[in-house]
Chain A
Amino acid sequence: MEIKNNIIMSLKDLSVSYTEGIYAVKDVTADLLDKNITAIMGPSGCGKSTLLRAINRMHELYSNIKVTGEINLKNNNVLKMNPMSVRKMAGMVFQRPNPFPTMSIADNVMAGYKLNGIRKSKSEREEIIKNSLTDVGLWNEVKDSLNKKGSFLSGGQQQRLCIARAIALKPEILLLDEPTSALDPIATSKIEDLLLELKKQFAIIIVTHNMSQAARISDSSMFMYLGELIEYDNTKKMFTNPSNKKTEEYLTGNFG
């Protein structure tokens, strides 16, 4: 794949194993571009979410999981950094919307700052809340309910709140793990439109089972199979003329 100059993250021989000698992700090497949406596709169990969580250092939570290789985010080796610092740089959104149930909408947006012990003045806090909720298209819907819990929001609105929470910290990269698989088509469409807007500000990596979604919104696509990166290319090229036979078989529905 032709690489432009705006590389934001480099993966080099990245491997993740849950058990000694058995790899969920194996020797993945790729350069990811800034202000781009990269979709990671593949059949169930191919290592997509494992790869994503490795970037965010989520695997730290489990002692049996081993991550080797390099993840360089803006020339910082993520695997050697403080995990909390990594999670500020790489915001994550999960499949099921998960606004913190005990926090208000405003507090949910500011959760990242609170958990990192970052104090903001009242005016700064208000600005961050307004900007983040505006960026995700929620401000007009919730501006009069900022002190209410997020649970009254619809699924799509809750997911947008989670994205607002992630972008409030101004991350370098946004990681989304099947962010719309629990949402209805209209909510999905809104999230997709939102991501197309947000890519003007952030690099975005999205794991998706929905090939049409990957085709609709991503600039680049990765196809993974059995933990390996099989193909990584411009989405349009991959979806019309993939280079690898396995990718062709997956895209035409012949396996997976």
Chain B
Amino acid sequence: MNKLTYKNIKTNIDNTTKIVLDQFTIIHDILENNIDDNKIKKINSNEVLIDNYEMNIREEINTSIVLYSPRASDLRKIIAYYDITGYLERIGDLLLNISEFIVKIDYNSNVFRNTLPLLIKMLKLIENMTKNAIFATICKDRSLAHSTILDDNEIDDLNVQIFLSLIKTEDKDKLDSILSINSIASNMERIGDHATNISEAAIYIIEGIDIKHYINKESYLENL
């Protein structure tokens, strides 16, 4: 397959990833400090860029398939890049959702102050997972892809911890905040799933095996 085509696709995925990581930074800033209109505007304008990149990458990939009939590792790469583009776009959507839920939270409420450390921890973890998953794909780093997949367990645990914390809160009248925090945690958990999907796509490129629906994924990864 044409090397320039690969380079263009990789560059666009790289650019999309940078914008997604920028979204993480803004969300982090909003959670720890405050919301303002500029930050919300920036999130929305980044989301438009992510969507545009997704369309461009898909177009490039479709053209490559028509022109070059990729085979073997070229075929795996192009299929994986197609999937990864979709996952990155979904992560962008989920981060936008998170920003829309954050505006409904009472920052002065106990329920928010109690769950904030867990939310920050979860946010940092999913940001790292996303970064590592893309790195594993571009650099064909098998062990990084494996470890990223296994990190998803911690995301699931944090989601449960946040949920339990919300159930036990004494701020029962802060329903908007409680529901918003729960939704934020759920969206973060979905981001973790998509980062896992990206890592699984990396494994498909490197090893030619689709482990998405393996039942004993963890023991499979440990044995590789």
Given contacts A215-B71, A239-B71, A241-B209, 15 further A-B contacts (CB under 8 A): A211-B69, A211-B71, A239-B72, A240-B71, A240-B75, A240-B208, A242-B72, A248-B72, A248-B73, A251-B72, A251-B74, A252-B1, A252-B71, A252-B73, A252-B74
Interface residues, chain B, with chain A CB atoms under 8 Å away: 1, 69-76, 208-209
A212: CB under 8 A from chain B? yes
Which residues from chain B contact A212 at a C-beta distance below 8 Å? Answer: 69
Interface residues, chain A, with chain B CB atoms under 8 Å away: 211-212, 215, 238-242, 247-248, 251-253
Other-chain contact of A251, B71, B208, B209 (Cβ < 8 Å)? B71
Which residues from chain A contact B209 at a C-beta distance below 8 Å? Answer: 241
Q: Establish whether residues B76 and A240, one from each chain, have CB atoms under 8 Å apart when the complex forms.
A: yes
A242 to B1 Cα, complex, angstroms = 16
A selection of 14 A-B contacts at a CB cut-off of 8 Å is: A240-B71, A240-B75, A240-B76, A240-B208, A241-B72, A241-B76, A241-B209, A242-B72, A247-B72, A251-B71, A252-B1, A252-B72, A252-B73, A252-B74
A248 to B75 Cα, complex, angstroms = 11
Which residues from chain A contact B73 at a C-beta distance below 8 Å? Answer: 248, 252
Name which of A215, A239, A241, A247 has the most chain B CB atoms within 10 A of its CB: A241
Which residues from chain A contact B1 at a C-beta distance below 8 Å? Answer: 252-253
Residue of A nearest to B76 (CB): A240
A214 to B209 Cα, complex, angstroms = 22
Which residues from chain B contact A215 at a C-beta distance below 8 Å? Answer: 71
A239 to B208 Cα, complex, angstroms = 11
Give 4 closest A-B pairs by Cβ, nearest first. Answer: A241-B208, A251-B72, A251-B71, A252-B74
- Give the distance to chain B from A174, nearest Cβ to Cβ, in Å: 26
Which residues from chain A contact B74 at a C-beta distance below 8 Å? Answer: 251-252
A252 to B72 Cα, complex, angstroms = 7
A242 to B76 Cα, complex, angstroms = 11
- Give the distance to chain B from A242, nearest Cβ to Cβ, in Å: 5
Which residues from chain B contact A247 at a C-beta distance below 8 Å? Answer: 72
- Give the distance to chain A from B58, nearest Cβ to Cβ, in Å: 21
Which residues from chain B contact A252 at a C-beta distance below 8 Å? Answer: 1, 70-74
Residue of B nearest to A240 (CB): B75
Name which of B1, B69, B71 has the most chain A CB atoms within 10 A of its CB: B71
A18 to B76 Cα, complex, angstroms = 40
Q: Establish whether residues A239 and B69, one from each chain, have CB atoms under 8 Å apart when the complex forms.
A: no
Which residues from chain A contact B76 at a C-beta distance below 8 Å? Answer: 240-241
A252 to B69 Cα, complex, angstroms = 10
Which residues from chain B contact A242 at a C-beta distance below 8 Å? Answer: 72
Which residues from chain B contact A248 at a C-beta distance below 8 Å? Answer: 72-73
Which residues from chain A contact B70 at a C-beta distance below 8 Å? Answer: 252
Residue of A nearest to B207 (CB): A241
A199 to B129 Cα, complex, angstroms = 49
Which residues from chain A contact B69 at a C-beta distance below 8 Å? Answer: 211-212
A239 to B70 Cα, complex, angstroms = 9
Residue of A nearest to B75 (CB): A240
Which residues from chain B contact A251 at a C-beta distance below 8 Å? Answer: 71-72, 74
- Give the distance to chain B from A211, nearest Cβ to Cβ, in Å: 7
Residue of B nearest to A242 (CB): B72
- Give the distance to chain A from B103, nearest Cβ to Cβ, in Å: 46
- Give the distance to chain B from A249, nearest Cβ to Cβ, in Å: 9
Residue of B nearest to A241 (CB): B208
Residue of A nearest to B72 (CB): A251
- Give the distance to chain A from B102, nearest Cβ to Cβ, in Å: 43
Residue of B nearest to A239 (CB): B71
- Give the distance to chain A from B72, nearest Cβ to Cβ, in Å: 4
- Give the distance to chain A from B116, nearest Cβ to Cβ, in Å: 46
